[in-house]
Amino acid sequence: MALAALQACTALPQSAAPSDGRQAGRAVASTGAKPGSSVPPQAQAELDAALALVKAGQHEQAIESLKKLATAVPDNAIPPINLALVYKKLDKLDLAETQLKQALAIEPDNPVAGNELALLYRETGRFAEARALYEATLTKFPHFGIAHKNLGVLCDLFLKDYACAIDHYKIYASSAPDDKRVEIWISDLQKRTGRKEAP
């Protein structure tokens, strides 16, 4: 499980390995605090300690630490996002959803929270809600590659909207040239649909 640092005054996500719609693995992701806000140095140390607990597999202790951090910095979306991802790791999806909605209540434009909640919607069969949330997130953050990838997966495997899938896979591929898997997905879809690569 990847670890991410608590950062202040950043609008875009800073996650070492955001959740991938094709893989079972989950990352503990973070994004910046609200623009203009500041994070006390002690909060960084507490987050680091909580993420170390996650890495060690001590999930219940990590949850307690993240709850304390959420109380200490109630206007920061990072603790509830991380709580949600730990709950997802434990298959406590109702609790994960509550935390992601809390993160979006704190920071409505948080792209990591939007991406993670859309993934949760997909995992629980709410495909239309997932698509709407991905599209809303990408309207605000059009260069957020992992959301393009996950929307492509949703359109490809669950909605059977192959034009949507190809479009979003291509956008993701342009932002992640080292991810060779997506080139295979695009090629496969083009063969099945007869839709060729644009020159």
Supply φ then ψ for residue 31, to 5 degrees.
-135, 175
Q: What's the pLDDT score for residue 194?
A: 82
Contacts of 194 (CB under 8 A, 6+ apart): none
pLDDT (tens digit, 9 = 90+) per residue, 130-143?
999 999 999 999 99
The overall average pLDDT reported for the chain is 83
Write the CB contacts of 29 (distance below 8 Å, at least 6 apart in sequence). 2, 4, 13, 15, 18, 19, 81, 82, 85, 112, 116
Is-contact 145 176, C-beta < 8 A? yes
pLDDT in tens, 43-55: 889 999 999 999 9
According to the model, what pLDDT value does residue 146 have? 97
pLDDT tens for 6-15 read: 332 222 333 3
Summarize the confidence of residues 108-113 as an average pLDDT: 95
Site of tokens 């007869």: 194
Q: For residue 1, is pLDDT > 80?
A: no
Comparing 121 with 13, the larger pLDDT belongs to 121
pLDDT score for 41:
80
Q: What would the pLDDT profile of 17-39 be if each residue is shown by its tens digit?
A: 334 433 322 334 433 333 333 45
Q: Is the per-residue pLDDT at 170 higher than 90?
A: yes
Handedness of CA 14, 149, 139, 100 (dihedral sign): negative
Q: Cα(46)–Cα(79) distance, rounded to whole angstroms? A: 10
State the pLDDT at residue 117.
98
Residue 168's pLDDT band (boundaries 50, 70, 90)?
Answer: very high
* 56-80 confidence digits (pLDDT tens): 999 999 999 999 999 999 999 999 9
Report, as an integer, the average pLDDT of 91-118: 97
Average pLDDT, stretch 144-157?
97
Where residue 197 falls among pLDDT bands split at 50, 70, 90? low
